[in-house]
Structure 1
Amino acid sequence: MAFETKLDCRHYLGDRPCRFHCRGACEHYEPMGFRVLVIKTAAIGDVVRTTGILPAIHRQWTPAHVTWISEPGGARILQNHPLIDQLLTFEAAGILTATQQHFDLVLSLDKEPGPAALCNRVPGGEKRGIGLSPWGTVTPLNKECEPYFQLGLDDDLKFHDNTKSYPQLIHEAVGLPYAGQPYRLYCDERTEAAIHAMFEPWRQPGKVVVGVNTGSGRVFANKTFSPEKWVTVCERLLDLGHTVVLLGGSDEINDNQWIGDRLGGRAHLAGNGHGEQEFVAIVSQCDAIVTGDTLALHVAVARDVPLVALFGPTCEQEIDLYDLGEKIISTHECVPCYHRVCEKDPNCMDVISVDQVVEAVGRVLTIQPKRAVAR
């Protein structure tokens, strides 16, 4: 009997049997359909909020097969997403794999030469978003992308005139209808169970768990409080009877340990060496979180966790919390600025008071969304 292989079947794996364990043609054959490549490599928070375009892709083209290429951290956090069929990393092997495929549509959303060059290089039908010019500079590929592209070139437009959120902007940039749906992240059951077990000893009857995310990345100055101010915030939350868990990444190891020491062991440290999927599960275990404009904010939105979001140097209007919480926006005269270095004293985060944060936490704890995770 001849061995027949359907290379365009979405179940075909090549290196091992498919889940139906078929030897060739079978009733489970399912063509990939309309093939879409999404190029969004960094930053990881932007990768997360860009997933909002996935439902629109699948509504527009049925069936659709979506390949997403991202930096390794972005690829890891997108694991288990049911609307992504193939994840590639923006490294040599992933780039080579992408350039040897044909796509019906390429959506390129990074304003960086490398990803833009990949968009140019990939064989495909229509290309929307950001490409690379003959001079090595990034350029919009379609008319709908021009307003989004212009925001990066005009501070007045970005800081003061624009009223659209990032999800709306990128939908419009690639010509997709925006239905106002939030973005989503998914964890595997094993990871969720492990993090649930980690939190279990910290839970007490009648107490809520407030995650305090102290970090903000290295790019922009003053996206978070000083460690001293976080100590005061945590003390107030603890005095109200809340359970406080300190969140952060590898950059916050020393700060979180210092904050924990000043709190005399009353706050719990979630640890700073977790992978991206573990961090998603950690945020999901909190009843609410307090965070600056950073990854934890987008994870909370993607997992339906109530939150208080602090804004200083970045544009709050580009962030949609989808009725999950409150924004506290600095009233400092120079915000937003997107400066990488700031020597102002007081700075934009200094003028946000501890009272504002604590009172906002009390209000958002009354939000009872349909949680994306059972705890």
Structure 2
Amino acid sequence: MKSVLVVKLSAIGDVIHALPVSYAIKETYPDAKITWVVEPPAYDLLKDNPYIDKIIVFEKKKFKSFKGFLKNYGPFSKIIRADRYDASLDLQGLFKSAAIVWNAKARLRLGTCNMREMSHKISRPVVGPNSNGHIVERYLDVARALGCKVEKVVFPMEITERDRIGAEGAMQQAGARMENPYVVLAVGANWPNKRWPTRYYAQLSDWLYGMKIIPVIIGGGVLDSTLAADIEAAAEIPPINLVGKTSLKQLAYVIQKSQAVVGGDTGPVHLSAGLGKPTVMVMGPTDANRNGPYGQLENAIEANRPCKYCWKRACPKGLECLSVIHPDEVENKLLALLKNDK
């Protein structure tokens, strides 16, 4: 195996879940050239990865209009076809990823067990032993079908000195030092159903201060800034707010130096699990068996509702999905983790 194309475009959490595939391929085929196609928001996760030789950025917005498609299709196809691939792994399983794989003309085309939008017509779905298990293992089943032995699961993340300095600077500007114990609160999520109530984060923040642990809010974008403001307003003592103040790699370092991370089914929380940090995940519409914190599913707290695992972005019943998970449940889970971490 001399050249492998991996297509996993987005979202950030999904790209994190797929990172072990790059290590698995190099573990078995150390001389293989790995090319990874990704969308811009997740690019930073792959940058400096020692197991990825080439990154191709797919800018989906350029292909949305008919004029844009005509203008960009040829140049992008030329970039994809600059190499000859022995195999391609479609870990996205959608029409857009299938189009990229089709352009690559690899001799062997493999995909995940749950491919959609006719992508299974381009790549062969791999229904492995973990087809009903965690998404990380489903991706690794595709690597196994390629002949990879997968003796250990590694989430490659190369954090540079520049990332460390930037993260420490952001923390200091926000009013805290990394030398002091802190817990990260990942307050945002793309789905409203995946967001724990801000009033609960405020209660948890005050409890952490009472434990002499600094609560640090992370996130990005306008929505997360609004959520952070709501938490600051509801808390007796405002938590440290890093929302929008770090790059992905800087955020990884902030997480790496923390005592633990709390949040919903979202990218930074999956990043925490991948880095091996104690991770408490509050869940409702998605299930821990598939999407929980990898390697520590016992730290997932699922909403006690008959309609859980609905996989709905927003609740059709108008319920606040995760409101049945009270702060004391998270506090008890954190207490056990923090004791074990000492």
TM-score tier by shorter-chain length is: 0.7 to 0.9
Match 2:80 to one of 98, 110, 134: 98
Q: Distance in 2 between matches of 1:46 and 1:95?
A: 24
Contact 1:260–1:266, Cα closer than 8 Å, also in 2: yes
Contact 2:273–2:296, Cα closer than 8 Å, also in 1: no
**More off after superposition, 233-242 vs 332-341:** 233-242
Query: Offset of 1:276 from its aligned partner?
Result: 2.3
Match 1:316 to one of 270, 288, 311: 288
DSSP-derived class of the 1:256 partner: helix
For residue 176 of structure 2, what is the amino acid of its counterpart? W
Show the counterpart of 1:333. 306
For residue 247 of structure 2, what is the amino acid of its counterpart? G
**More off after superposition, 270-279 vs 251-260:** 270-279
TM-score computed with the length of structure 1 as normaliser: 0.77
* Residue 120 (str. 1) matches residue 102 (str. 2): yes
Question: Larger C-alpha radius of gyration, 1 or 2?
Answer: 1
Question: Which protein has the bigger helix share?
Answer: 2
Show the counterpart of 1:48. 16
Q: Deviations over 1:208-250 (max 9, x none)?
A: 2011111011xx3311212222212212222222111111111
Contact 1:168–1:178, Cα closer than 8 Å, also in 2: no
Q: Distance in 2 between matches of 1:333 and 1:49?
A: 28
DSSP-derived class of the 1:124 partner: coil
Show the counterpart of 2:156. 184
* Residue 307 (str. 1) matches residue 255 (str. 2): no
Match 1:166 to one of 106, 113, 135: 135
Contact 2:189–2:264, Cα closer than 8 Å, also in 1: yes
For residue 323 of structure 2, what is the amino acid of its counterpart? D
- Superposition RMSD on alpha carbons, in Å? 2.9
Against the structure 1 CA distance between its residues 366 and 327, is the aligned structure 2 distance closer, same or farther, given a 3 Å change threshold? same
Q: Deviations over 1:19-63 (max 9, x none)?
A: xxxxxxxxxxxxxx7111101101121011101112221122231
Against the structure 1 CA distance between its residues 264 and 94, is the aligned structure 2 distance closer, same or farther, given a 3 Å change threshold? farther
Show the counterpart of 1:80. 48
Against the structure 1 CA distance between its residues 204 and 38, is the aligned structure 2 distance closer, same or farther, given a 3 Å change threshold? closer
Q: Distance in 2 between matches of 1:325 and 1:195?
A: 30
Query: Offset of 1:297 from its aligned partner?
Result: 1.4
DSSP-derived class of the 1:364 partner: helix
Show the counterpart of 2:210. 239
Show the counterpart of 1:357. 330
Q: Distance in 2 between matches of 1:37 and 1:351?
A: 43
Q: Distance in 2 between matches of 1:67 and 1:283?
A: 28
Contact 2:23–2:156, Cα closer than 8 Å, also in 1: no
Against the structure 1 CA distance between its residues 328 and 124, is the aligned structure 2 distance closer, same or farther, given a 3 Å change threshold? same
Match 2:193 to one of 213, 222, 232: 222
Q: Distance in 2 between matches of 1:236 and 1:293?
A: 22
Aligned positions of 1:191-202 closer than 5 A: 191-200=163-172, 202=176
Q: Distance in 1 between matches of 2:76 and 2:275?
A: 28
Query: Offset of 1:88 from its aligned partner?
Result: 1.0
What is the number of equivalent residue pairs in this alignment? 320
Query: Offset of 1:143 from its aligned partner?
Result: 5.6
Against the structure 1 CA distance between its residues 95 and 311, is the aligned structure 2 distance closer, same or farther, given a 3 Å change threshold? farther
Q: Distance in 1 between matches of 2:157 and 2:56?
A: 17
* Residue ranges of structure 2 left out of the alignment (5+ in a row): 60-71
Query: Offset of 1:285 from its aligned partner?
Result: 3.1
Aligned positions of 1:201-280 closer than 5 A: 202-203=176-177, 208-217=181-190, 220-250=191-221, 251-280=223-252
* Residue 35 (str. 1) matches residue 7 (str. 2): no
For residue 248 of structure 1, what is the amino acid of its counterpart? G
Query: Offset of 1:343 from its aligned partner?
Result: 4.5
For residue 101 of structure 1, what is the amino acid of its counterpart? D
Show the counterpart of 2:119. 138
Contact 2:200–2:326, Cα closer than 8 Å, also in 1: no
Q: Distance in 1 between matches of 2:331 and 2:112?
A: 41
DSSP-derived class of the 2:107 partner: strand
TM-score computed with the length of structure 2 as normaliser: 0.84
For residue 258 of structure 1, what is the amino acid of its counterpart? D
Q: Distance in 2 between matches of 1:325 and 1:190?
A: 35
Against the structure 1 CA distance between its residues 214 and 282, is the aligned structure 2 distance closer, same or farther, given a 3 Å change threshold? same
Show the counterpart of 2:66. none
Q: Does 1 or 2 have the higher relative contact order (CA < 8 Å, sep 6+)?
A: 2
Q: Distance in 2 between matches of 1:65 and 1:239?
A: 51
For residue 235 of structure 1, what is the amino acid of its counterpart? D
